[in-house]
Chain A
Amino acid sequence: MSMNGTPKPPFTFDDKDRVSNILSQYPDKQSALLPLLHLAQSQEGYISSAVIDTVSEIVGCHPALVMDCVSFYTMLYSKPCGRHIIQVCQTLSCSLNGADALVDHVKDKCGIESGETTDDNCFTLMKVECLGSCGTAPVVQINEEYHEGLSQDEFDQLLESLQ
C-alpha cells in the first residue's frame, strides 16, 4: 500500500526467460539477487518497493535483506533518476586532471547539484569514485558508457547530443 492508501501495482519481470536463466546459473537462489536487481532496474529505472517485494519472493529471503543490498550498492537506485545519469569521477587521478572544475562546469550547465535531477527528467548528476580508467582522466560515465579524457567543450557537445 502506498502512503495515501491506494494499492500499489505489483512488479513483474517482462523477460521471464531471463529470470529463469539467471536462477539456473547459481547453486542457490539468493546468489541471483544482484543480477535480478540489475534486471529489474534496467526495466523500471530504479528499485521500487514493488521490485523489492517481487525479488524477495523469487529468491526466498526477507524484503529487508533486499532493501539492505539496495542501500549498500551505489549502482542500485532507490528513487527514479533522469534518462541520462551523468557520473563524474572525482578520485585522485581524475582530480589531478581537471575533474573538480569539470564537476562545477556540469553543475552550471545542467543547473543541478550532485544527486539532483533536472526538471525535465533528462539528467541526473552524481559524483562517483574511481571508475578504473585513471589513465584517461578525467572520466565521465553516462549510463553504461565511458567518456574518457573529456574537456569541458567535449562535454558540452556530448550534452547537446543527448538532449
Chain B
Amino acid sequence: MSAFKPILTEHIHKKDCHTLSFYRSVGGYTALEKVLALDPDAVIEEVKASNLRGRGGAGFPTGVKWGFIPRGSEQPKYLINNADESEPGTFKDRLLMNKTPHQMLEGMIIASYAINCQKAFIYIRGEFYKEYEVLNQIVAEAYHENLLGKGILGSDYNLDVVIHRGAGAYICGEETGLIESLEGKRGWPRIKPPFPAIEGYLKCPTVVNNVETLCNLPHIFNHGPNWFRAIGSEKGPGPKLYCVSGCVNSPGVFEEPMGVPLKELIFEHAGGIRNGNELKGVFPGGSSSAILNAEEAMGVKMDFDSLEEIKSMLGSAGIIVMDDKVDMVQACLNIARFYAHESCGQCTPCREGTTWLVKILTRMVNGDGTERDIDMIYEITDNIGGLIDFSQGSFGKTICPFGEAVAWPVRSFVEKFEDEFRSYIPQLEPVA
C-alpha cells in the first residue's frame, strides 16, 4: 500500500472527533481566518489554482463554477451543500458528516464567502436522521462561537446556515432537482441552461457543491494550491474517498490520492474478493457508471481521465465489486429496477424506457426471454441516453443526466457479459 497519509479522514478514529473543540485542537478554522482576510475574488483564484474538481459525480472544476456567479448583482447568492448522497455504492459523505462535520462546515463558510452568499443550505437526505442531529448540534456550536451569524470572527461577513432534510428521492441529488425540491416542489430537474450559477434557487445565482468537495477547501487554504496540485493525478488532483462494497472481505471507505489503482483498493484496502472467489465485474463510480470487466478493473487508475478513457467514469467513486458467483443478468435487473423506481417521470424516454428495461430483464430472468430482447435492450438504452459531456451538464436525449445514468450501466452489462445474457434466452425448438 502507498505511504499516503489521509487528509480528509485523518482524525475520524479519534474520540469526539466531531466536536468543535476537537476540530480546533487539530487546526480547525484557521483556514477560515486566512480566507476572511482575503478578497473573495482572490479566494476563487486560489481554488482555481488548486484545480479542485467536484466530488459529487460530474468533476467540474470548483473554482470555475464559483467564477460563474455574477459579480456585483443585487440579487442574493446561495450556496447549497449537496448532502443527498444516494448513488448506489456511495457512503462517503455520510462518514464525513458523522466524523468531521466541522471540516465540512468550514468548507461551506469559505465557499459562501467566496461567492458573497449570506444564506447557505445543507440539503441532507431525509433518511440520514442521525447525521441531521449531528449537523444541528455542530451548527449551533458554530453560531455560539461566532463562526456563523453576524460579523464572523470579527470580520464584517455574515452567514446563516439552514439544514434542510430531503424526503426520499434519488433525483433530488441532481442539482436542479435539488433546487426544485428546496423550493418546496417535487424534485423535477430543470433544463439547462440557465445553469444554477445564473438562475438557481428562487431564480438567484446558486452554487451547488458536494460534501466532500467542500471538505477539501480548508486544506487548500492551510497548505496552498501547489501542495494540493501535487497530490495524485495531474488533471484532477487531491485526496479522494473511495467507497468499496459488494463481494469483498473488508468493505469500507478508503482515502487515497486521485489516481490510485482500482486493483489496490479492491485487493489491499478491501481485503480482496470474499470466499476466495474470482473478480468478475466492478462499478467504479456508483451504479451510474459503465461496469468494468475484471481485466479493465485490474488495469485502471481511479481518476476522472483514466476512467473516461475506458468509457466509464469516476462518478461518486462508489465501487461495487461483483465476484464470479454473481449472476450478471440479475445484477443488471437490480440496477434497472432502481432506476425505474427513481425516474422522476418527466421525460418519456426515461420514464417508459426504464419500465421496459425492467420488464424485459424480468422476463429474461424468469426464462421467458425472446430472441429480440437483447437488441431491444440496446435500442432502449440508445433511446434514453445520448451523447453527454458530464462536465457541461446533459446534452443527451433527456432533461437531466439520469438518462445516461441508466443507459450506461445497463448497456455495458449486456456488452461486456453478452454470453451470459444470451444464455437466458430459451433456445427455439428444432422444427424437425
Which residues of A are at the interface with B, using a C-beta cutoff of 8 A? 25-28, 30-35, 37-38, 59, 61, 65, 68-69, 72-76, 90-93, 95-97, 128-137, 141, 144-146
| Contacting pair B320 A92 (CB below 8 A) | yes
| Contacting pair B126 A75 (CB below 8 A) | yes
Interface centre among A68, A129, A136 (most CB of B within 10 A): A129
- Quick check: is B302 within 8 A (CB to CB) of the other chain? no
Name the residue of chain B whose CB is nearest to the CB of A144. Answer: B129
For A130, the chain B residues whose CB sits under 8 A away are 86-90, 170, 338
Name the residue of chain B whose CB is nearest to the CB of A55. Answer: B184
Could you give, for residues 76-96 of chain B, a 1 whenever the CB lies within 8 Å of some chain A CB and a 0 otherwise?
100000000111111101100
In the complex, which of the residues B167, B182, B202, B246 contacts A93, with contact meaning CB atoms closer than 8 Å? B246
In the complex, which of the residues A26, A97, A133, A141 contacts B162, with contact meaning CB atoms closer than 8 Å? A26
Name the residue of chain B whose CB is nearest to the CB of A131. Answer: B127
Q: How far is the CB of B193 from chain A (nearest CB, A)?
A: 23
Q: Which size bracket describes the interface of B in this complex?
A: 35 or more
Q: Say which one of B230-238, B247-255, B358-366 lies at the interface with A.
A: B247-255
Cα–Cα, bound, A128→B337 (Å): 11
- Quick check: is B125 within 8 A (CB to CB) of the other chain? yes
Known contacts A92-B335, A93-B89, A132-B86; is A27 also within 8 Å of B119 by CB?
Answer: yes
For the complex of A and B, list the 7 residue pairs with the smallest distance between their C-beta atoms, beginning with the closest.
A33-B184, A73-B167, A75-B168, A74-B168, A72-B186, A30-B184, A134-B245
Name the residue of chain B whose CB is nearest to the CB of A130. Answer: B88
In the complex, which of the residues B91, B167, B185 contacts A37, with contact meaning CB atoms closer than 8 Å? B167
Could you give, for residues 310-336 of chain B, a 1 whenever the CB lies within 8 Å of some chain A CB and a 0 otherwise?
000000001010100010000100110
Within 8 A of A (CB), among B266-297: 283, 287
Known contacts A27-B76, A32-B184, A144-B130; is A134 also within 8 Å of B243 by CB?
Answer: yes
| Contacting pair A34 B181 (CB below 8 A) | yes
Cα–Cα, bound, A61→B184 (Å): 10
- Quick check: is B183 within 8 A (CB to CB) of the other chain? yes
Interface centre among A27, A32, A72, A90 (most CB of B within 10 A): A72
For A61, the chain B residues whose CB sits under 8 A away are 184
- Quick check: is B164 within 8 A (CB to CB) of the other chain? yes
- Quick check: is B378 within 8 A (CB to CB) of the other chain? no
Cα–Cα, bound, A144→B128 (Å): 8
For B89, the chain A residues whose CB sits under 8 A away are 92-93, 130, 134
Cα–Cα, bound, A73→B182 (Å): 13
18 A-B interface contacts by CB (under 8 A): A27-B76, A30-B184, A34-B164, A35-B164, A72-B187, A74-B169, A91-B287, A91-B334, A92-B287, A93-B251, A97-B246, A129-B86, A129-B338, A133-B91, A134-B88, A134-B90, A135-B253, A144-B129
Known contacts A31-B183, A144-B130; is A93 also within 8 Å of B162 by CB?
Answer: no
Q: How far is the CB of B27 from chain A (nearest CB, A)?
A: 28
Within 8 A of A (CB), among B173-219: 181-187, 202
For A137, the chain B residues whose CB sits under 8 A away are 245, 251
- Extra contacts, 14 of them, besides A31-B183, A134-B246, A136-B251 (Cβ < 8 A), are A25-B162, A28-B183, A30-B185, A31-B184, A33-B184, A33-B185, A38-B167, A74-B169, A75-B127, A92-B88, A95-B331, A134-B90, A134-B318, A135-B245
Name the residue of chain A whose CB is nearest to the CB of B326. Answer: A96
- Quick check: is B33 within 8 A (CB to CB) of the other chain? no
Name the residue of chain A whose CB is nearest to the CB of B183. Answer: A31
Known contacts A92-B334, A135-B252, A144-B130; is A73 also within 8 Å of B168 by CB?
Answer: yes
| Contacting pair A31 B182 (CB below 8 A) | yes
For B331, the chain A residues whose CB sits under 8 A away are 92, 95-96
- Quick check: is B110 within 8 A (CB to CB) of the other chain? no
For B104, the chain A residues whose CB sits under 8 A away are none
| Contacting pair A35 B165 (CB below 8 A) | yes
For B127, the chain A residues whose CB sits under 8 A away are 75, 131-132, 141
Cα–Cα, bound, A90→B341 (Å): 12
Cα–Cα, bound, A56→B251 (Å): 45
| Contacting pair A93 B88 (CB below 8 A) | yes
For B130, the chain A residues whose CB sits under 8 A away are 144-146
Cα–Cα, bound, A130→B129 (Å): 15
For B341, the chain A residues whose CB sits under 8 A away are 129
| Contacting pair B322 A132 (CB below 8 A) | no
| Contacting pair A75 B76 (CB below 8 A) | no
Q: How far is the CB of B310 from chain A (nearest CB, A)?
A: 21
| Contacting pair A92 B164 (CB below 8 A) | no
